[in-house]
C-alpha cells in the first residue's frame, strides 16, 4: 500500500472494519505517523460521542440511580434499634449499599453493551481534498474530522453540506485551523449521502455558491 491509502484507513481502523492484513499494515504505519495517531484519537472520540448521543436501543432508565437511593433512604428510616444502637443500622445500610452497587453495575454493563452496539452500527469514510474522515452514527448523526485545515480567509467561512439525491443541505459552519478538529454536523447523514465543504461568505449561505473542495466518499 502507498502512504496515502494508509492514511485513508483511519476511520475503518477505528471502527474495526479492516482485514487482518490491513490492520497489520496500518498499525505499522501508525507507529511512525504522529498525525495519524492524533487523527485516530479524534475520530475515536467523535465515534464515542455519537454512540452516547444515539444508540440503537433505549438507554437504561435515567432514574435508576434515584430509585436505588430512594430505596436506601426508606430502608434506613425503617431500621429498629436492637441491643446495640449501631448494629442494625449498619447492617441494613451495608445491605442497601450492596443492592445499590449491584444495580449500578447492571446499569453500567447495559450501557456499555448498548454503546458497543451503537459503535458497531457506525459508518466511517475518508474525505478527499484534505486529511480527514466522516463518521456517522446509528441515527444518522454525523461528525467531520479534519486535520491541519488552514483557517478560512478573512470574511469567509467553511460550510459543511450533506448531499443526498442531488440536494445539498447545510450542516454547519466552522473556521478551520491547525491540528485536528471535530465538526458535529447539524443535519443527519443518510446512507449513501456524501459530506462536502465549501468556502462561503462569513455566516454561511442556504445553498453552496462554490464548488466543494472537500468531499467524502458515500457513507
Question: Of 118, 142, 163, which residue constitutes the final position of a domain?
Answer: 118
pTM of the full predicted structure?
A: 0.58
pLDDT by residue, tens only, the chain of 219 residues: 444 478 777 777 777 767 788 889 999 998 888 888 888 887 777 777 766 655 444 444 555 556 555 655 555 555 555 455 555 555 555 555 555 555 554 444 443 444 444 444 577 788 999 888 898 887 788 889 888 899 999 999 999 999 999 999 999 999 988 778 889 899 999 999 999 999 999 999 999 999 999 999 998
Between helix 64-77 and helix 87-120 the angle, nearest 10°, is 170
The per-residue pLDDT for 111 is: 38
Q: Are residues 157 and 201 in the same domain?
A: yes
- Neighbouring CB atoms inside 10 A of 137's CB total 25
Q: Are residues 70 and 46 in the same domain?
A: no
Q: Are residues 143 and 202 in the same domain?
A: yes
The H or E element that residue 125 is part of is strand 123-128
Overall number of domains in the chain: 2
Instruction: Report helix, strand or coil for 160.
Output: strand
Three cell numbers, residue 143: 461528525
How far apart CA 136 and CA 119 sit, in angstroms, is: 10
User: What's the domain range around 100?
Assistant: 64-118
CA dihedral 49, 32, 125, 2 (to 10 degrees): 180
How far apart CA 172 and CA 73 sit, in angstroms, is: 47
How far apart CA 122 and CA 141 sit, in angstroms, is: 10
Q: Are residues 204 and 127 in the same domain?
A: yes
Q: Are residues 128 and 200 in the same domain?
A: yes
Helix, strand, coil percent content, the chain, rounded in steps of 5: 40, 25, 35
Phi/psi for 109 (5° steps) reads -65, -45
Question: Of 98, 118, 138, which residue constitutes the final position of a domain?
Answer: 118
Amino acid at each position: 500500500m502507498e502512504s496515502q491509502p494508509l492514511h485513508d484507513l483511519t476511520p475503518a481502523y477505528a471502527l474495526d472494519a479492516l482485514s487482518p492484513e490491513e490492520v497489520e499494515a496500518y498499525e505499522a504505519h501508525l507507529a511512525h505517523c504522529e498525525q495519524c495517531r492524533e487523527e485516530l484519537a479524534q475520530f475515536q472520540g467523535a465515534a464515542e460521542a455519537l454512540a452516547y448521543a444515539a444508540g440503537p436501543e433505549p438507554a437504561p432508565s435515567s432514574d435508576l440511580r434515584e430509585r436505588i437511593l430512594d430505596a436506601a433512604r426508606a430502608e434506613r428510616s425503617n431500621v429498629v434499634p436492637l441491643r446495640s444502637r449501631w448494629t442494625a443500622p449498619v447492617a441494613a445500610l451495608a445491605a442497601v449499599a450492596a443492592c445499590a452497587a449491584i444495580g449500578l453495575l447492571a446499569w453500567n454493563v447495559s450501557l456499555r453493551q448498548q454503546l458497543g452496539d451503537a459503535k458497531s452500527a457506525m459508518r466511517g469514510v475518508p474525505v478527499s481534498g484534505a486529511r480527514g474522515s466522516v463518521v456517522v452514527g446509528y441515527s444518522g448523526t454525523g461528525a467531520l474530522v479534519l486535520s491541519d485545515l488552514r483557517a478560512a480567509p478573512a470574511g469567509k467561512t467553511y460550510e459543511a453540506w450533506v448531499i443526498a439525491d442531488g440536494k445539498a443541505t447545510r450542516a454547519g459552519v466552522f473556521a478551520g485551523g491547525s491540528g485536528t478538529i471535530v465538526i458535529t454536523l447539524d443535519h443527519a447523514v443518510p446512507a449513501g449521502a456524501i459530506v462536502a465543504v465549501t468556502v462561503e461568505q462569513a455566516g454561511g449561505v442556504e445553498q453552496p455558491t462554490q464548488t466543494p473542495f472537500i468531499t467524502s466518499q458515500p457513507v
